[in-house]
Structure 1
Amino acid sequence: MTFQKIDHQFTYPSLSYTAEPNFQPAIKVSVLFRKREGVSHETFFGHWQTVHADLAVATHAFQNHILRYAQHHQTPEMKERARSLGENVLDYDGCAQLWVRSWDDWMEFYNSEEYAAALSDDCHYFMELPMTYMVGYENLVVGDASKVIGGKDGLSVKKVWLVTGCSSGFGQQFIPAIIARGDQVVATARNTSSLENLWPEDSVRTLQLDVTSPQEVLNEKAHQAISIFGHIDVVVNNAGYVQSGVWEEISHEQLLNQFNTNVFGPLNVTRAFLPHMRARNQGSIVFMSSISGWLGVAAGGPYSASKFALEGAVESLQKEVSSFGIETLLVVLGQFRTNILSTERRKLARQPHQTGPYDEIIHALNSRQADTNGKQPGDPGAAVQVILDAVRREGKFEAEEKLPLRLVLGSDAVGIVRRECEDTLRELGRWECVARSTDIPGMEEAIQEYR
């Protein structure tokens, strides 16, 4: 766009004529109303905040088209205050304002049965018709200054979260942390009885959800979750458990159950919400991974295998959905003080009194897990706050344009990831000549690295 520049001293340092744009263009439709002659302002306002507020319900059915809905009324006192400033006053009594991404979105809503029902004959009792429309483009935010007024698109920064596995561990920590930020959450668990009536209903709703359910069931659960608050901004794939055992002794069924919960579950839940997020061109998906996805230990193979698989799947997913405005985040957790290693939560491949050639290895793992339980160095509450900061771009993440692929949490996790990377590079260097010896001669320039 070419325009004539003036010598303006910008208040916010990141703003300038050459600043990279960071806004979401929107069409703003303002619908102005005047009360009927002879109707008192009190009567008009009484109808305005009840009958006409039905429009808010109508727009709720069109969350994929309507970015934001607001309504306000102009009291006689407010009009006089504006006139006392010596300014002209637009003479109206009520105004409904709707923000849409495109004119097609507006027409989809304007021609809907919901909109017609909201503007039923009841409105004739208190407002003059026809209404007055004011329509125009509105660049909600420009430049990095968007962070000053809250959010990339300038709209409400309140988010709606869905968290799996809320009956224990990190899931329990997420709920109060989310509502403390002013957000809303759909808290899910296989059994939601322990979650009922603990938080305000306008902030927290519970939904029974088993992540190992068939895809068609999860799709229906996603539809139910979306209908609760109108949309879902963030999905946190938190449900999981630890299956221990050596490979010779673990059964196929035990291994499949581990993967159904820790791998296929979060991927299927994600698949259920992706169409909704693509349609809105926004969304964040968090996967609770583990340091076990970087380091395999004896008798810990089933759990490690599930986390290694999840890490690879999410790394691919990120490359597939980023162009649709959808973010992914792998949270690589160290040892955090939850109940995941408690006797009730741990699953062993063998029976308590079973013996065999791997007794020493299994005993060492059991002893280590028992000794660690309740003494883990990580604070789950602090980890949840960091995850919320990352998704909401607050705290240390305020200046970040996008989420990292992985977020390693816990000093022990940092040490293990660094050591594994260094060991891998050292081993690669030692055997690099052997690796390169398998190339077809003369094909060096044809080799393409995977990205």
Structure 2
Amino acid sequence: MSRVWMITGANTGIGLEIALKALKEGDKVIAAVRSPEKVPETLKTDNVSILRFDLSWSQEKVNVFAKEAVGAFGKIDVLVNNAGYAYMGGIEEISDENVKQQYEINVFGILRVIRAFLPDLRAQRSGLILNFSSIGGFHGYPGNGIYCSTKFALEGITEALAQEVASFGIDAAIVEPGYFRTNFLASASAGQNLAPAMSEYENTPVGEARQAFVKYNLKQPGNPVILAERVWEYAARKGLFADRKRRLRLPLGSDTGAQLRSFIADLQETAEEYREVYESTDFKD
């Protein structure tokens, strides 16, 4: 049975690859994009509904958009919150204005989308919400701390959301890609979406991160086509997920896997070394 995918940012990068994979498997796609005129020819088929959308829209406007999206094919089976952006720079380098804008799009924008689609998902008592986090969703990186913090927030939101909507037959999951070969680093490597540099940080991890944006742009290890295959399989419970439990987190990329294992080891060491400390703080009665 074909599925209907609603994908934000479906005209480029990972969003586009997921859309193409879904179409290849006979599914239908609602491509939510900021500039419909820039959608590639590969998405201009009868099984795709191209709709203008922006994460900066108000809740009221997103609600109207959601009704239009559901009306395109009569339902939504998979809601993919993929769109977002990264504003780079050290914590001291980034202004409040830029931090607020980053949260407005990457956190509040996605919250508005979730709220807008939940009434229909609850009514049909089915659906899968895929919120795209990052390897930076559980590990903060120098020169990228604000973006990482928005993904930390999205992970916490999704953990709670998954428990809140389970009784309605809805699943929610966190997708954690590592560094995939898309244009994600392009704007930072070109000096855009990048805070003005402070000379004090030139020879620190923040300065090294600025150099890495250029060095690793379009040289990332992850293959976005294969990522799309894994995401589709996760949703369809096929392929590598035919006999695997659908867990809350979907880590993708060997770099994410390595960081995940390192994170687990650090937590384990902390839990063991500080056991006397944290157990000492309870009431004794």
**Partner SS, residue 285 of structure 1:** strand
Structure 1 200/348 Cα, relative in aligned 2: closer, same or farther at 3 Å?
Answer: closer
Instruction: Establish whether residue 419 from structure 1 lines up as the match of residue 257 from structure 2.
Output: no
Aligned match of 1:347 = 193
Instruction: Establish whether residue 365 from structure 1 lines up as the match of residue 224 from structure 2.
Output: no
Question: Matches of 1:311 and 1:209 in 2, distance apart?
Answer: 23
Question: Matches of 1:291 and 1:250 in 2, distance apart?
Answer: 21
Give the greater-gyration-radius structure (CA).
1
- Aligned residue among 176, 194, 206 for 1:332: 176
C-alpha displacement of 1:298: 1.7
Q: Do 2:132 and 2:174's aligned partners in 1 also have CA atoms closer than 8 Å? A: yes
C-alpha displacement of 1:410: 0.9
Question: Matches of 2:139 and 2:209 in 1, distance apart?
Answer: 14
C-alpha displacement of 1:416: 0.4
Question: Matches of 1:262 and 1:239 in 2, distance apart?
Answer: 8
Matches for 1:58-207 after TM superposition, within 5 Å: 157-195=1-39, 197-207=41-51
Deviations 1:391-431 (A, max 9, x none): 0111122245x621001111111110100110111012111
C-alpha displacement of 1:239: 0.4
Aligned match of 2:120 = 276
Aligned match of 1:260 = 104
**Partner SS, residue 165 of structure 2:** helix
Structure 1 228/345 Cα, relative in aligned 2: closer, same or farther at 3 Å?
Answer: farther
Question: Matches of 1:243 and 1:364 in 2, distance apart?
Answer: 16
Unaligned runs of 5+ in 2: none
Aligned match of 2:158 = 314
C-alpha displacement of 1:236: 0.4
Higher relative contact order (CA 8 A, sep 6+): 2
Question: Matches of 1:345 and 1:230 in 2, distance apart?
Answer: 43
Coordinate RMSD, CA, aligned:
1.6
**Partner SS, residue 207 of structure 1:** strand
Deviations 1:362-406 (A, max 9, x none): 321111121111111110110111010110111122245x62100
Structure 1 377/346 Cα, relative in aligned 2: closer, same or farther at 3 Å?
Answer: farther
Identity between Structure 1 and Structure 2 (%) = 38
Matches for 1:377-396 after TM superposition, within 5 Å: 377-396=221-240
AA aligned to 1:289 is S
C-alpha displacement of 1:200: 4.8
Deviations 1:313-345 (A, max 9, x none): 100000000110101121111111010001359
Question: Matches of 1:179 and 1:275 in 2, distance apart?
Answer: 26
Question: Matches of 2:89 and 2:41 in 1, distance apart?
Answer: 39
Aligned match of 1:434 = 277
Relative to the length of structure 2, the TM-score reads: 0.94
Compare 252-261 and 360-369 and name the one that shifted more. 360-369
Question: Matches of 1:172 and 1:239 in 2, distance apart?
Answer: 11
Count the aligned residue pairs.
282
Deviations 1:197-251 (A, max 9, x none): 5445321110000012111110000001111111111110000111112222211
Matches for 1:265-304 after TM superposition, within 5 Å: 265-304=109-148
Aligned match of 2:91 = 247
- Aligned residue among 201, 206, 210 for 2:54: 210
AA aligned to 1:233 is D
Unaligned runs of 5+ in 1: 1-156, 443-451
AA aligned to 1:258 is Q
Question: Matches of 2:260 and 2:9 in 1, distance apart?
Answer: 26
Aligned match of 1:224 = 68
**Partner SS, residue 408 of structure 1:** strand
Deviations 1:147-169 (A, max 9, x none): xxxxxxxxxx2111110012321
Question: Matches of 1:250 and 1:200 in 2, distance apart?
Answer: 39
Compare 262-271 and 284-293 and name the one that shifted more. 262-271
Q: Do 1:241 and 1:345's aligned partners in 2 also have CA atoms closer than 8 Å? A: no
Structure 1 165/346 Cα, relative in aligned 2: closer, same or farther at 3 Å?
Answer: farther
Structure 1 198/408 Cα, relative in aligned 2: closer, same or farther at 3 Å?
Answer: closer
Q: Do 1:339 and 1:345's aligned partners in 2 also have CA atoms closer than 8 Å? A: no
Question: Matches of 1:282 and 1:345 in 2, distance apart?
Answer: 43
Q: Do 1:331 and 1:409's aligned partners in 2 also have CA atoms closer than 8 Å? A: yes
Q: Do 1:236 and 1:287's aligned partners in 2 also have CA atoms closer than 8 Å? A: yes
Question: Matches of 1:198 and 1:344 in 2, distance apart?
Answer: 28
Question: Matches of 1:200 and 1:341 in 2, distance apart?
Answer: 27
C-alpha displacement of 1:355: 3.7
Relative to the length of structure 1, the TM-score reads: 0.60
